[in-house]
Structure 1
Amino acid sequence: METSIEVSSSNFAADVIAKSEDKLVVVDFFATWCGPCQILKPILVSLSREYDFILATIDIDKNPDLASQFAVTGVPDVRICDRGIMQSGFVGVLPEPQLREILAQYNLKSDLELGIEEVKSAIAAGNVKAAKQIFDRLFSQFPNSPLVVIQAARFLIHLNKLDKARELLDSVGFENQDHFNKAQSFKALIGFKQALDKPENTSLGRKYARACQLALREEYENSLKLLLEVVEADRKYNDDGARKAMTSIFAILGTQHPLTKKYQPELMMTLY
């Protein structure tokens, strides 16, 4: 499948305008001397393999007429060509989650995200064999995807294979800060699992263990409620474990999730 093409003035009409009638074209105006361009390009290339869109890259130094035509004054400048119409996009480098949100506005489906949903359904149904088969397919199709690595680690935690899960999470590097932070947060799930192995037989210990159990079952709201109660009762309990657990759940959910927006301020009020 053709996902990325170099575009110049000579093929712009055919490879951008005409092709956008059948498939969305993401147009990346860049320059070889631009550092942010070099950061953004591999992210766009990776997404183009995952979603059903064409990535058209245009070097503004080689194609000043196109840069002038579309009033490109800074790079990277990304536009969206949909059914023959060039639409505004963004200038600069956006985090991958925001790029995915933009693509979702055009009703594009990610093969990777659909595969991960399949995995979650298989796990929920208790079909471990099917989940493993789906992961094998995803690792083959998206061998360098940190999303697959993180979800596979989550699956291993579910199977209580904690060392293997930690090994996978440790492989997620600093290149993409969002994925790295997510991987670090999922290491908290390993801590939740370990907390259940030797629960402290006190009122706070039982409450903390219950919160960990709920977090592992992805019942995050009930887990956050209990963790907040632990923080309110004893901030220092388990080496500040309840606060750390809450911040890990916030990172797993993301800053825009309703539960993060609700419980993060409550945690701050409790602490200060």
Structure 2
Amino acid sequence: MPLTLSFGRLLTAGLLAGLIAGLLAGGFAYLAGEPRIDAAIAIEEQNALAHGEAQGGEELVSRDTQKNVGLFLATGLYGTALGGFLATAYALLRRRLHTSSDTRAALGLAAAALTGIVLVPWLKYPPNPPAVGDPATINQRTWSYLAVLVLGLVAIWAGILAARTQTHEWRRATAGLLGFAVVVTIAYLLLPTINEVPDTFPAVLLWKFRIASLGTQTILWTVLGIAFAGLLNRLATSNPTPDVAADKAATADA
């Protein structure tokens, strides 16, 4: 039976789970991503010197602060915000999910978000480190990324609707994958291809940065789903449903 809780308690659980996930993702980003960013910044500075360009003015926030306090503050706040998003989605969609398990519902929503919000955009527009990208195309890149992000969520929705048209389990899985793949394929074909990576930029550094970025997001959403499901389970054991509570009360009276 689905867990019945006030939205306030669900939101609190989501925010706490998001904070935990954000800090852990920040730890991974610090170890796997920050060294690549430092290397990319060094390349950018070398290119500027080679072309006789003046270095930028004094930084408002030092690089050391950015990759230490700033990184964990950013990922903590980002994770907390996503936790609130997941809790809100859970509150709105729980009754529509075809499962009696709150754990499966929470993990399913987190997996859907990871696929639609992270994986689909990453495959079309993988992130680039500093020194990559033309400032003149930033608006086009921003709007294209937002478009593929929205279409990623639409693809998840289309896959769910397609799966629900079938009765047998393997047919549901096949229909869901086909529905998802059709929307993603159309989105990839319609959206422009953007490739502004200079030929001189080290390919190994580029892909290590991109993998680190994907790993950070994967850890964030995975931990968020597990932590949120765990908190829901804890709330379920400390706040039994009305039927269970009534049974316990009747047993006590007897």
TM superposition score normalised by structure 1: 0.24
Between structures 1 and 2, the one with greater strand share: 1
TM superposition score normalised by structure 2: 0.25
Between structures 1 and 2, the one with greater helix share: 2
- Structure with larger RCO (C-alpha < 8 A, sep 6+): 2
